């Protein structure tokens, strides 16, 4: 209980104090809503448009989730191939670096113009590309950091390349894999959100933010921004939970396979 209080109490107190200060500054200082709405006005807008905010968050969340799953699977598969084959490592490493160097702002409108505006495919492709790079890099690093004694032992057992990967490399790479996923999970939400700014279906958080801001409904726009923040935190929390679940049974799981 004490450890839980030490972990969660400071950020909760800080968040409450920050919201209180925000409310005081915006109300007492009479800050215009187009500069910074008060937390109370944002909460009212969120309550009044709860169904619309929920539907928009669901649309963006599905796109981000698809991109996260596909990008993670491709990143892990590419990392396994890169570790086993030097030629593949050179090709995929260069492609991964190139994909990471392309800004989302430049990539999203290009993909929107390549595909129909009545599909979410461009948003999911953008999220997939954003997720792929950190997962690929982190997993590759983890797969290569195998203790020498374990590698020699598997060689003595005449284990195949896949057996070494499955029984030694993948378990050792799990901490690095989750490091990449911790970066990729919120990144998938950000990528899907930004991709919605550049046309296509107008049912996600990104398009709702721009339309609300264009209508000078700034508290409503901030309500959608709040939903996007909650969505990103939810993705990160799920990844952290999965990481905790894999820590204890990891050794037993991999030994029994």
pLDDT digits (tens, 9 = 90+) for 20-55: 998 998 888 888 888 889 999 999 999 999 999 999
CATH architecture, domain defined by 50-256: Orthogonal Bundle (1.10)
pLDDT tens track for 58-113:
999 999 999 999 999 999 998 888 887 777 777 777 777 776 677 777 777 788 77
Nearest to 83 by CA among 171, 169, 183, 178: 169
Tell me the C-alpha to C-alpha distance, in Å, between residue 237 and each of 120, 136, 203: 25, 21, 25
DSSP class of residue 147? Answer: -
Q: What is the pLDDT of residues 209-227, one digit of tens each?
A: 999 988 888 999 999 999 9
Q: What percent of the chain has pLDDT over 70?
A: 82
**DSSP H/E element including 76:** helix 50-84
Reported as a pLDDT band with limits 50, 70 and 90, residue 147 is low
Within the chain, how many helices (H) and strands (E) appear?
12, 0
Q: Which of 109-118, 153-162, 171-180, 196-205 has the lowest mean pLDDT?
A: 153-162
Return the residue matching tokens 């450890």: 3
């Amino acid at each position: 209980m004490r450890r839980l209080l030490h972990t969660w109490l400071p950020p909760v107190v800080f968040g409450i104090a920050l919201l209180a200060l925000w409310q005081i500054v915006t109300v007492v200082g009479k800050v215009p809503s187009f500069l910074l709405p008060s937390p109370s006005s944002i909460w009212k807008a969120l309550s009044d448009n709860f169904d619309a905010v929920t539907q928009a968050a669901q649309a963006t969340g599905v796109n981000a989730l698809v991109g996260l799953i596909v990008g993670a699977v491709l990143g892990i598969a590419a990392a396994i191939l890169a570790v086993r084959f030097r030629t593949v490592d050179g090709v995929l490493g260069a492609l991964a670096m190139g994909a990471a160097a392309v800004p989302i702002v430049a990539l999203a409108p290009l993909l929107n113009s390549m595909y129909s505006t009545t599909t979410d495919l461009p948003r999911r492709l953008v999220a997939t590309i954003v997720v792929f790079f950190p997962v690929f890099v982190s997993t590759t690093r983890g797969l290569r950091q195998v203790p020498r004694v374990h590698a020699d032992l598997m060689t003595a057992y005449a284990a195949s390349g896949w057996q070494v990967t499955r029984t030694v490399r993948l378990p050792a790479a799990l901490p690095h894999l989750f490091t990449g996923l911790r970066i990729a999970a919120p990144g998938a939400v950000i990528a899907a959100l930004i991709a919605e700014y550049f046309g296509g279906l107008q049912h996600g958080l990104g398009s709702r933010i721009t339309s609300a801001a264009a209508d000078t409904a700034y508290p409503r726009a901030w309500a959608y921004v709040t939903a996007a923040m909650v969505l990103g935190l939810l993705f990160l929390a799920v990844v952290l939970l999965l990481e905790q679940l894999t820590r204890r049974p990891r050794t037993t799981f991999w030994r029994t396979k």
